[in-house]
Chains A and B, each alone.
Chain A
Amino acid sequence: MSPRRAPGGRAFWILGAVGTAVIVFGLAGLLRNAAQTVPSSWATFFVGGLLVSDFLVLPGVALAGVVVSRIVPRAPRATVQGALLVSAALILIAIPVLTGRGRNPNNPSILPDSDYAGELAIVLAIVWGVTALLLLVRTRARRTSDPRSPTSR
C-alpha cells in the first residue's frame, strides 16, 4: 500500500465525472421527493450508519481481535477468528427477525417462527460444532505427522 500513490489517468477522470453525475442525480432525486424521503431522517440514518460502523463497530472488532489474540492459543486462533466472522455475519442478518419489531398481530405469516433466538442458537451451535471438528481433525493430523521428528516443522 503506497500512500503516495494518488489516482489519476484518463479512466479516473471519465469514471469520476460519470460517477459524480450519477451521485448528483441520486441526491437530486432524494431532494425532489423530499415529502417521501424526509431528508432529515434520511441523513440521520445515512450519517448514523457511517458513525456507528467507523467509531463503534470497527473499534469493537479491533478490541475483540486483541482479546482473541490474548486468550486463544496460537494454533487454533485463525480458525476461531474465522468462526467468529461467520457467527458475527449470522447474528447481524438475524437482528431484524430477533427484535420481532415487524410482527403484526393481524398477519402471522410475517416472522412466522416464534423463536428466532432459538433458531439462531442452533445455527451458531452448528458453526462452532464444525469449527471444533475442524480443529480436532487438524490436531490429529499434526500428531500423526509426529511433531518431534526433526524433519517436520
Chain B
Amino acid sequence: MARSREQPHPPNRPARGHRRPLAQELKAGRTLGDVLEERLAPLQRGPLRPGAFSSRLHAERVATVLGIALGVTFTTCFLTGLISHFAQHPLDIGFLSMPASPAGLYRVTQGVHVASGIASIPLLAAKLWAVYPRLFAFPPVENLVHAFERALIPFLTGGAIFMLFTGLLNTARWYPWGFNFTVAHYWTAWIVIGALIVHIGAKLAVAGPALRRPRRERSPEPESDGDGISRRGLFVAAGTAVAAVTLTTVGQTFRPLKDLARLAPRRPDAGPQGIPVNKSAVGAQVVDAARDADWALEVGGRVARPLRLSLAQLGELPQREAHLPIACVEGWSAAARWRGVAVGTLLEMAGAEPGAEVVVHSLQQRGSYRSSRLNVAHARHPDTLLALQINGETLHVDHGYPARLIAPNRPGVQQTKWVARLEVV
C-alpha cells in the first residue's frame, strides 16, 4: 500500500464532535474517501489496518497478468458455451444455425470449453489471493464511481466462482443444488461476462500503462528476496498448475493424452463397446421397449408416404458407414465407426420435402433429451445416420439399440438414442 501513514490526520480535519453532514463535506470539496477514512478510523483494525497483508504477491502487476489470463480463458468459455447453447436452442436465424461440417467442430469447441474452465481454476485461485487485500481496502470507497465499480465486483468474483464450481461438478455428474444446471449456468454466464466488461473498463486505465511501461520499469519496487515465492515464481507456479490440471483431465476428449487423464471423470474408452455413455437404458427406463421384438421405426409428419420399418427391414436398406465422434456437453468425446441407414434415404423414401426439418423421438417417456431436432443441414447430410451398429457390432442397449441417431457436429445429448419415430416438420 502506497498511502503514506505519516500524517494520519489531514490538516483540515474538523475537531471531534463538530461533524458536518456528509453532503456539506462533499460540497466543501472533500472526497467521499477522505470523509469515510476519517469517520471510520476506529474500525481500521485487523485486516483493515494498513500493511495487514505482507505477501509480495498482492501486487498490481500480479493481479493484472492473472487478470489478462483469466480474461482469455473466461471469454473462451463464454464463446464456446454460446456455441453449445445455441446448438441446443437454435435461434431461428439461418446463418447462425449449427452447420453439419466440420464433423468434429463441436467436439473441439466443447472440449475447449471444459478445458479452459478447468484451467481457470488455478488462475482464479491465484488471482483471488493477489487481490484479497482489496476486499479490506480502507476507506471502503473513494468516491461514487469507485462505489459503483466495487458494488459490481461480487457479480464478477461470485459469478466466476459459481461458474467454475457448477461446471466442474457437472463434469462429474454431481448436483448438490436445487436448480437446473444448464439453465442456471447459462444465465449466470451473462452476469459474469457483464461484470467482466465493467471490470475491464475500470482496469483499462490501470492495466494499460502498467503493461506499456518498459520491462525494466514495470516493478518500481524491487522484490525483497527470501520472502518466499516471488511474483515471477507465482506465474511459473500458476502456469505449472494450469498445465497439471489440464494434462490430468484433457485426455477425456483429446485421445492422445487419454492415459494421463487420471483425474478426469471420464475415459474415452470406458463404457460398453469401448465408448462412454451419458444415459443408460436402465436410467432412461427404456430397456423393455428397446428390446421389444415388435419395435419398428415410424417416419411420419409432413411426408407423402408414412413409413413403418422393422429392424430387419431397416437392415435390408442401403447401409452407410461414418466415422463420427460422440461429443458430450460435459467435455468428453469418443469417435466410433457407425453403420446404419442415412436419415436422408428414409426422408426420400417417405417423400419429405428437401427443405424439411426433422424431430427425432426416442422411446423414452421422460427426460428433457427424449427428442431432438435436425436442422436442414443435418437432416440432409449423408453422414447423418440412423445407426444400427457401432464399430462392427450391434448397438449395445446403452448406446441406443435398436437404432440411434448419429450426426456430424452435434452435441451428444442431441444424438437421440432408442429412436422410435422421425417426425418431418
Residue positions of A touching B, CB distance < 8 A = 1-9, 11-16, 18-27, 29-30, 33, 36-38, 40-42, 44-47, 49-50, 53-54, 58, 61-62, 65, 68-69, 74, 77-78, 81-83, 85-86, 88-90, 92-94, 96-97, 99, 101-102, 104, 106-113, 116, 119-120, 122-123, 127
Contact B272 A46 (CB under 8 A): no
- Please tell me if the beta carbons of A86 and B183 are within 8 angstroms of each other in the complex: no
Judge whether A37 and B152 touch: CB under 8 Å.
no
Chain A contacts of B188 at CB under 8 A? 26, 30, 42, 46
**Any A CB within 8 A of the CB of B122:** yes
Q: Which residues of A contact B263 (CB under 8 A)?
A: 90, 93-94, 97, 116, 119-120, 123
Q: Which residues of B contact A109 (CB under 8 A)?
A: 266-267, 270-272, 276-277
Q: Which residues does chain A contribute within 8 Å of B132, judged by CB atoms? A: 54, 58, 62
Cβ of A112: which chain B residues have Cβ within 8 Å of it? 266-267, 270-271, 276
Complex contacts, A58 vs chain B, CB 8 Å = 128-129, 132
Q: Which residues of chain B come closer than 8 Å to A19, judged between CB atoms?
A: 152, 194-201
SS class of chain A's interface: helix, strand, loop or mixed? helix
Q: List 27 A-B contacts (CB under 8 A).
A: A3-B137, A6-B145, A7-B146, A11-B204, A15-B204, A19-B194, A37-B179, A38-B178, A82-B229, A82-B237, A82-B240, A86-B240, A88-B125, A92-B121, A94-B263, A96-B171, A96-B174, A97-B263, A97-B265, A106-B283, A107-B398, A108-B271, A110-B265, A110-B276, A112-B267, A112-B271, A120-B262
Judged by DSSP, the binding face of B is helix
Asked if A89 and B142 sit within 8 Å, CB to CB, the answer is no
A25 contacts B228, C-beta separation under 8 Å: no
Docked-complex contact A23 and B277, CB < 8 angstroms:
no
Q: What is the distance, in angstroms, from B251's C-beta to the closest C-beta of chain A?
A: 12
Count of A-B contacts with CB under 8 A?
285
- B143: Cβ under 8 A from any A Cβ: yes
Any chain A CB within 8 A of the CB of B184?
yes
> Chain A residues with Cβ under 8 A from B76's Cβ?
none
In the complex, A13 Cα to B197 Cα: how many Å?
11
Cross-chain contact A104 with B159 (CB below 8 angstroms) = no
Residue in contact with B142 in the complex, picked from A6, A45, A92, A110, CB distance below 8 Å: A6
Q: Does B216 count as interface, using CB distance less than 8 angstroms? A: no
Residue of A nearest to B53 (CB): A62
A107 to B280, CA, bound (A): 6
Asked if A25 meets B178 with Cβ closer than 8 Å, knowing A15-B201, A16-B202, the reply is no
**C-alpha gap A41/B132 in the complex (Å):** 26
Kindly state whether residue B43 has any CB partner on chain A within 8 Å.
Answer: no
Q: How far is the CB of A63 from chain B (nearest CB, A)?
A: 12
Write the B265-301 contact mask toward A (1 if CB under 8 angstroms, else 0): 1110011100011111011000000000000000000
* B197–A18 touching, CB < 8 Å: yes
> Can you add 14 more A-B contacts, CB < 8 Å, to A85-B234, A96-B265?
A6-B143, A7-B149, A7-B202, A16-B201, A26-B187, A29-B186, A36-B184, A81-B229, A82-B237, A85-B241, A104-B280, A111-B173, A111-B265, A123-B263
- Are A20 and B3 touching (Cβ within 8 A)? no
Least Cβ–Cβ distance between A8 and chain B, in angstroms: 6
Binds A, one of B15-23, B161-169, B307-315, B342-350: B161-169
Chain A nearest CB from B112 CB (Å) reads 16
Q: Report B-chain residues with C-beta under 8 Å of the C-beta of A14.
A: 201
Interface pair B228/A81, CB less than 8 Å apart = yes
